[in-house]
Amino acid sequence: MSLIGIIASQNYPRTVSVSYVVIAGGAGGAADIGGGGGAGGYRANVSGENSGGGASAEAAFNAALATNYALTVGAGGAGGAAVTNGSDGSNSVFSTITSTGGGGGGFSTAGAGQNGGSGGGAPGFGANATLNGTGTTDQGFDGGDGSNLASYYGAGGGGGAGGVGQNGTGTNGGDGGNGVSSSITGSSVSRAGGGGAGAFDLGTAGTATAGGGNGGAGGGGQPAVNGSAATVNTGGGGGGGSANSGLGGAGGSGIVILKYPATFTATFSGGVTQSTTTSGGFKISEITAAGVSDTVSWA
C-alpha cells in the first residue's frame, strides 16, 4: 500500500461502532379472565446495561461503511376477543440481531399462554391454568399461572423483558413482569413490560405500572371490563380482559434504537420512520416503523 493509502486508512475508519436496543412487538392480552400478553423480546449491547431475560449486554457491533443493514420494527399483537388468545407480537430486526415477538395471553378455560420473546400469562381457571408461555433465552421471561381455585379465578400476568409475570391469586389477576431500563437516549426509560392479567368478579386486575415497561393493565374485577392496550413503541404486553367476556388489550409495537458517533451519518431507506438527535458527541436514531425490506447504512 502507498504512503497515501496508509495515511488514508488510519485517518478514515471503515467501520462505525453502533450501540443498539432492539425490542420486538408485545403480544395482546386474552379475553375473559385472560392472561396478560408477553412483552416483546429485548436485545441490547449498551455498555453497563442489561439485555432481556437477565442477560448482560451483548457484544459490540461494528458496522461497515456504505453497507446496507436490515431494519424491521415489529407490530404489537391484537387483543383477544371472546374465546381467543391474544395475538403474538412480531419480530424486530437490526442486521443479524432478531428480537422475538411476545407470546399472547391465554383465554378462559381452553386457551394457554403462548411462547415468545416473553411468555403470555395463563388463563385464570380450568385445566390450562398452569399453561403459561415461556420466554426466549436472553430476551425475556415466562408468563404467570392462573389461580384456578374453587370459585376464585385470577389469570397470570404476561412475562416482561426484565422479570416473570406474576401468578393470579384468588380472584385477582397477576401483575405483568418488569421491563428493562436503558439510558441509550440520554435518560433512563423502562420498556418491554408484561401485560397485567384479567380478574374474576370483584377481584383486582393485574397491573403493568408496578413493574414498569409500559405494558397494559388487566381488566378490572367487574364483569366485561376490557384490558388496556400497551404503549406504542415500547414492546409492552397488552392487558387481559375480566370475567364475562372482557376483551384483551393490544400489545405495543416495538422499537429499534441506534447510537453512534456524531461524525458519521446514517441513511435510511424510504419506508423507515425515525428521528435522530445529537447529544454528547453521539447521534441517537429512534426507529419507530420499518418494514421487512428496509435498511440503514452509514457514511
- Residue 276 domain-assigned (yes or no): no
- The grid coordinates listed for 213 are 415497561
Domain that holds residue 7: 1-270+284-299
Count the domains in the chain.
Answer: 1
* Whether the predicted pLDDT of 166 surpasses 90: yes
- Residue 279 domain-assigned (yes or no): no
- Non-local (6+) Cβ contacts of 156 within 8 A are 35, 36, 106, 113, 121, 122, 123, 124, 129, 132, 143, 144, 145, 146, 165, 166, 167, 168, 173, 174, 197
Q: Name the percent of the chain lying above pLDDT 70.
A: 95
Of 232, 235, 217, which Cα lies nearest the Cα of 34?
217
Predicted local distance difference test score (pLDDT) of residue 88: 98
- Residue 179 domain-assigned (yes or no): yes
Taking residues 219-241, what's their average pLDDT? 95
Predicted local distance difference test score (pLDDT) of residue 7: 36
pLDDT averaged over the chain? 93
pTM over 0.85: yes
- Residue 277 domain-assigned (yes or no): no
- Under DSSP, the state recorded for 149 is B
- Residue 6 domain-assigned (yes or no): yes
* Whether the predicted pLDDT of 215 surpasses 70: yes
CA-to-CA separations, 197 to 18, 121, 174, 240, 246, in angstroms, rounded: 37, 7, 5, 5, 11
Of 267, 279, 45, which Cα lies nearest the Cα of 287?
267
The model's pLDDT over 43-75, given as tens digits with 9 standing for 90+, comes to 999 999 999 999 999 999 999 999 999 999 999
Of 21, 50, 17, 227, which Cα lies nearest the Cα of 123?
227
- Residue 85 domain-assigned (yes or no): yes
Alpha-carbon distance of 264 to 41, in angstroms, equals: 29
The model's pLDDT over 170-210, given as tens digits with 9 standing for 90+, comes to 999 999 999 999 999 999 999 999 999 999 988 999 988 76
The model's pLDDT over 87-104, given as tens digits with 9 standing for 90+, comes to 999 999 999 999 999 999
The model's pLDDT over 116-159, given as tens digits with 9 standing for 90+, comes to 999 999 999 888 999 999 999 999 999 999 999 888 899 999 99
Whether 70 contacts 272, CB under 8 Å: no
- Residue 275 domain-assigned (yes or no): no
Q: Name the percent of the chain lying above pLDDT 90.
A: 86
- Residue 203 domain-assigned (yes or no): yes
Alpha-carbon distance of 242 to 200, in angstroms, equals: 6
